[in-house]
């Protein structure tokens, strides 16, 4: 459930008309709903009842500090994949004790930063990384809390580019190697071997591969304990799909949690989760204005939003619902919907049935709160899209538009071009 709906003919985010935000802030702009973020966090967290779980929001899905602060105040931790994400999470008020640091390419500087910050857990993805981290922790006189990321050879996810769990993916180590690395870490005075981690993909719409991966995790933990090596936690990653409203709904958080309960029935171990999309996707929309229509047998709607603002359709053929901000009247017709960028890839959708649209109309791309603004760029020297957070009847700009004048402040001509020819 989300808090975007028509009220008296106007499409609203909570108590605010999106058209009012569009007029004040300009388009394109992202708009997020506080109530929806909070609700999604609550639904996910409460699905696990009294079990000891850490819900660490995957910052990569939406790293705006206002979004992170909203979730941190609810008690969420943060799953991060770069120093920048750790800094954002800390700035937003997530305690280091709830921050997980993952990723295949963590540098020595980033690992040093994470150990000094005292993060909850560093998810180690290779032997080389483990050795480097042990050396860094020794140098700092610290004990780094780690989990070993397992590649369970189970693939899943809404698109091949976001599947991470197959054996040939770049992520994690084989189950056998994970056991060996965990035992190695457990023997190191500067490492605290606390868990194993897994994440097999994103936009997963079927519980079976998740269940298979989680069963591998339980058996690995049992094996370690059987060998006398204590293990306290399992990090089960993110990946639960969300409705994009063009396909049957994916499993609910309650169904997901029930599956987790089945797999870990009678097994006493702390669990962590890293949901991103499930919390943020349906808590955000991208608002855009129709620039003009191209006359064709099937008319083309040219928007002021482009692939640089929302790239998911271009790279994953992703579907995003499109809603006019004025409650639609009149029969739907087929349109192609594109942005102004000079490549055919800048096409949001083809042959989509939509209510009649004309120049100046405002529309919202739905389910854009995750992997939307975070993946935006300034391609074609466009402004970086602003972000707005709504709470009840009020809203504030939480990232202002980064326009070309400001972008140019970062650029300089080299000395040999700085003087007039």
* Binding positions: 239, 274-277, 312, 316, 343, 371
Answer whether 279's CB lies under 8 Å from 37's CB.
yes
Q: Can residue 238 be called a binding residue for ligand LLP (CB under 6 A)?
A: yes
Smallest gap from residue 294 Cβ to ligand LLP (A) = 28
Q: Can residue 239 be called a binding residue for ligand LLP (CB under 6 A)?
A: yes
Q: Which stretch binds ligand LLP (CB under 6 A): 133-141, 210-218, 234-242, 247-255?
A: 234-242
Site for ligand LLP in 162-181 (CB under 6 A): 162, 164
Kindly tell me which residue out of 152, 209, 275, 386 binds ligand LLP, with binding defined by CB under 6 A.
275
Smallest gap from residue 6 Cβ to ligand LLP (A) = 27
Q: Can residue 235 be called a binding residue for ligand LLP (CB under 6 A)?
A: no
Residue nearer to ligand LLP on the CB measure, 197 or 389 = 197
Smallest gap from residue 13 Cβ to ligand LLP (A) = 21
In a 13 Å sphere around the CA of 361, the CA atoms on its Cβ side amount to 22
Q: Which stretch binds ligand LLP (CB under 6 A): 110-118, 175-183, 237-245, 380-388?
A: 237-245
Kindly state the greatest CA–CA separation across the chain.
78
Kindly tell me which residue out of 39, 199, 323, 382 binds ligand LLP, with binding defined by CB under 6 A.
199
Binding string, residues 99-138; x marks residues near ligand LLP by CB under 6 A: ---x------------------------------------
Q: Which stretch binds ligand LLP (CB under 6 A): 24-32, 268-276, 332-340, 398-406?
A: 268-276
Residue nearer to ligand LLP on the CB measure, 71 or 302 = 71
- Binders of ligand LLP: how many residues, by CB under 6 A? 22
Q: Given the residues 12, 13, 29, 342, select the one marked as catalytic.
A: 342
What HEC string does the chain produce? Answer: CCCEEEECCEEEECCEEHHHHHHHHCCCEEEEEHHHHHHHHHHHHHCCCCCCEEEEEEHHHCCCHHHHHHHHHHCCEEEECCHHHHHHHHHCCCCHHHEEECCCCCCHHHHHHHHHHCCCEEEECCHHHHHHHHHHHHHHCCCEEEEEEECCCCCCCCCHHHECCCCCCCCCECHHHHHHHHHHHHCCCCEEEEEEECCCECCECCHHHHHHHHHHHHHHHHHHHHCCCCCCEEECCCCECCCCCCCCCCCCHHHHHHHHHHHCCCCCCEEEECCCHHHHHHHEEEEEEEEEEECCCCCEEEECCCCCCCCHHHHHCCCCCEEECECCCCCCEEEEEECCCCCCCCEEEEEEEECCCCCCCEEEECCCCCCCHHHCCCCCCCCECCEEEEECCEEEEEECCECHHHHHCCCCCCHHHHCCC
Residue nearer to ligand LLP on the CB measure, 21 or 314 = 314
Q: Can residue 277 be called a binding residue for ligand LLP (CB under 6 A)?
A: yes
Q: Which stretch binds ligand LLP (CB under 6 A): 27-35, 182-190, 199-207, 336-344?
A: 199-207
The verdict on whether 342 is a catalytic residue reads yes
Kindly tell me which residue out of 31, 55, 58, 362 binds ligand LLP, with binding defined by CB under 6 A.
58
Q: Which residues are catalytic?
A: 342
Q: Can you give the binding site for ligand LLP, defined by CB under 6 A?
A: 58, 60-61, 79, 102, 162, 164, 199, 202-203, 237-239, 274-278, 312, 316, 370-371
């Amino acid at each position: 459930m989300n808090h975007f709906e028509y009220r008296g003919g106007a499409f609203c985010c909570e108590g605010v008309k999106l058209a009012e935000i569009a007029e004040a802030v300009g388009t394109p702009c992202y708009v997020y709903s506080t109530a929806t973020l909070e609700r999604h966090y609550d639904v996910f967290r409460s699905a696990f009842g009294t079990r000891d779980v850490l819900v660490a929001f995957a910052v990569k899905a939406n790293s705006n500090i206002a979004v992170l602060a909203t979730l941190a105040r609810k008690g969420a931790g943060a799953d991060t994949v770069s120093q920048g994400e750790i800094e954002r999470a800390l700035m937003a008020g997530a305690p280091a004790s709830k921050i997980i640091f993952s990723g295949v390419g963590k540098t020595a500087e980033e690992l040093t930063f994470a150990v000094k910050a005292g993060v909850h857990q560093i998810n180690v993805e290779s032997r080389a990384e483990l050795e480097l981290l042990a050396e860094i922790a020794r140098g700092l006189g610290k004990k780094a809390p780690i989990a070993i990321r397992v590649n369970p050879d189970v693939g899943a996810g809404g698109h091949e580019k976001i599947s991470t769990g197959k054996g040939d993916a770049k992520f994690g180590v084989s189950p056998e190697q994970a056991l060996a690395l965990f035992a190695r870490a457990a023997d190191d005075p500067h490492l605290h071997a606390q868990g194993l981690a897994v994440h097999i993909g994103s936009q997963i719409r079927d519980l079976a591969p998740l269940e298979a991966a989680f069963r591998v995790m339980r058996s690995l933990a049992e094996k370690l304990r059987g060998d006398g090596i204590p293990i306290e936690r399992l990090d089960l990653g993110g990946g639960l799909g969300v409705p994009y409203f063009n396909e049957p709904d994916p499993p609910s958080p309650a169904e997901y949690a029930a599956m987790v309960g089945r797999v870990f029935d009678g097994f006493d171990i702390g669990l962590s989760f890293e949901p991103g999309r499930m919390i943020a996707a349906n808590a955000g929309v991208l608002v855009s204005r129709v620039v003009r229509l191209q006359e064709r047998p099937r008319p083309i709607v040219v928007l002021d939003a482009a692939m640089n603002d929302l790239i998911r359709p271009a790279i994953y053929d992703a579907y995003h619902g499109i809603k006019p901000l004025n409650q639609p009247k009149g029969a739907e017709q087929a349109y192609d919907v594109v942005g102004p960028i000079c490549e055919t890839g800048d096409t949001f959708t083809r042959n989509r049935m939509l209510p009649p649209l004309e120049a100046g109309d405002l529309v919202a791309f739905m389910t854009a709160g995750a992997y939307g603004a975070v993946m935006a760029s300034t391609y074609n020297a466009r402004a970086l899209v602003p972000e707005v957070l709504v709470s009840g009847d009020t809203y504030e700009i939480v990232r202002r538009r980064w326009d070309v004048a400001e972008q140019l402040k970062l650029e300089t001509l080299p000395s040999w071009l700085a003087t007039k020819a």
